[in-house]
Structure 1
């Protein structure tokens, strides 16, 4: 089992509703990163905003990351050469594992400067249920991840835009006000994060990559559309609200039902 590089192939591997889980799968080295990145889109994002920050304790890991990718420089140069955003997690005896570096061109509703220096629990604090269901498991996994191994997982969001950078500032009711059952195929997009983790052998830092893949509902197969609709419907109330689901869930469910009806009619 591995992870693809599209919403269509990532969604079947992503968590549905219900309890949070890491859902990690091993990744082969030759399937680690997007093989054909759009570097022009990456450059435009990095050129338009301050997307890179590295604390002093992560400078060596940043250089090691660049060297691993065959790039001269540090974390910013490395992230311009690949499709994935790059984050560094380092540890010290007093504070444990923390986010100490990042080159994040395509964030999904978070800002690097607000998370930098935080523990893993603090970074994930906005996720409802994380402290109770995932925090200890994530901390243990990061602490015991061996060098040489690569693991990956998929995460998903439903959003009203295909933009690579998703940093909404408006009220979610306004953000999704134009979405209806009739137009949901064109106005709702599934945004997947293809996340991987590997330990850097020299510094011992953990490199966390996030590759963004976006597709409109109408471009996805019936099975994936139904999985997205079911996942939204089964998401717990806190996460349901955080993901702004109350403002699109009904339209999404109606669209998925219409796709199901079309499929039945075709078969008959």
Structure 2
């Protein structure tokens, strides 16, 4: 199975509201990483955000294993620079029940700072996500414990942002979306999708978590996906709306999607 490598392709499979679910799909090796990464963009991303590379002593061996597995010399940083995906390493300490973050090579984070997350266990890493502890934490812990080397799983999600920049730092929603209207939403609202994969490294037993960032303005999505986003806004407002700031842009997005549907109808 493949998830696709663009925001428009990913959207039908992406979670963007409602009850939290892992929503994992098993992937073939050929569908693991972006086959045609823009390495110049990756170099620019890391040059602009060097603090996105964090590696503890616990993660060094896993980083070296990852680089070798990808046919590279070096470690985690070299692996992430050579691919489209940001990459994180998680390991399980003796006596622990949760994996924790021991390495991150992240050029394009979605409103998080790797240095602040280093060393944290999974539940603390996801603490800002509304409903994670109640709806998803136990399932994630179980999946991580049972993940076998060789298996690759993927999932994706989406967010609405006021910028198409790959490295995203969220602003207060009322400020970020103050210029958005039903008329200009196609150019001023951007869908940001994270294509995430998980696999266990066979030698160290560390788990590699990759995050491929894809962004596109709302107006460049298919009409079906624009309608899908408009419908999703209603459930999002009832669930995670506060965290995602949906109240600041939902009416504009819904109105835009409805206008596009009307204009498309003969």
The 5-angstrom pairing of residues 37-52 of structure 1 reads: 37-49=37-49, 50-52=51-53
CA distance in 2, matches of 1:17, 1:210: 19
Any conservation in 1 of the 2:18–2:239 contact (CA below 8 Å)?
Answer: no
What is the deviation of 1:230?
1.9
- Aligned counterpart in structure 2 of residue 146 of structure 1, from 141, 148, 152: 148
Q: Which residue of 1 aligns with 2:80?
A: 79
User: Does the CA-based 8 Å contact 1:91-1:98 persist in structure 2?
Assistant: yes
Q: Which whole-Å CA distance do the structure 2 matches of 1:24 and 1:13 have between them?
A: 10
User: How far does residue 68 in structure 1 lie from its aligned partner after superposition?
Assistant: 1.2
Cα distance in 2, alignment partners of residues 237 and 114 from structure 1: 30
Q: Counterparts of 2:237 and 2:153 in 1: how far apart (Å)? A: 26
Quick one: structure 1 residues 184 and 236, their matched pair in 2 at CA, closer, same or farther if it must change by over 3 Å? closer
Q: State the alpha-carbon separation in 1 of the partners of residues 211 and 132 from structure 2.
A: 19
CA drift of 1:259 comes to: 1.1
Q: CA deviation at 1:236?
A: 5.6
Local SS of the residue matching 2:178: coil
Moved more, 51-60 or 195-204: 51-60
Match of 2:94 in 1: 93
Query: Which residue number corresponds to residue 226 of structure 2?
Result: 225
Q: Deviations over 1:58-102 (max 9, x none)?
A: 110011111111111111111100000000010012333101110
* 1:179 corresponding residue in structure 2: 180
Q: Retained in 1: the 8 A contact 2:236–2:246?
A: no
Deviations 1:113-154 (A, max 9, x none): 111111111111111111011000001001110000000001
C-alpha displacement at 1:18, in angstroms?
A: 1.7
Match of 2:165 among 155, 163, 166: 163
Counterpart for residue 14 of structure 1: 14
Q: In the alignment, which residue of structure 2 is the partner of 1:30? A: 30
Tell me if the contact between 2:16 and 2:159 (Cα under 8 Å) persists in the aligned partners: no
Q: Which segments of 5 or more consecutive residues in structure 1 lack a partner in the other structure?
A: none
What is the CA RMSD across the aligned residues, in angstroms?
Answer: 1.2
Structure 2: gaps (5+ residues): none
Is the CA contact 2:149–2:200 (under 8 Å) kept in the aligned structure 1?
yes
Secondary structure at the counterpart of residue 257 of structure 2: helix
- After superposition, residues 122-141 of structure 1 pair within 5 angstroms as 122-141=124-143
Displacement of 1:262 after TM fit?
1.3
Aligned in 2, Cα 1:109/1:16: closer, same or farther, shift over 3 Å?
A: closer
Question: What residue number does 2:60 align with?
Answer: 59
Say how many residue pairs are matched: 264
1:244 aligns with 2:245: yes
Using structure 1 for the length normalisation, give the TM-score.
Answer: 0.96
- Cα distance in 2 for partners of 1:221, 1:116 equals 38
* Shift, 1:237, TM fit: 4.5
Q: Once structures 1 and 2 are overlaid, which stretch shifts more, 234-243 or 207-216?
A: 234-243
Further displaced range: 176-185 or 45-54: 45-54
> Normalising by the residue count of structure 2, what TM-score does the alignment of the two structures yield?
0.96
Asked if 2 retains the 8 angstrom alpha-carbon contact of 1:16 and 1:227, the reply is no
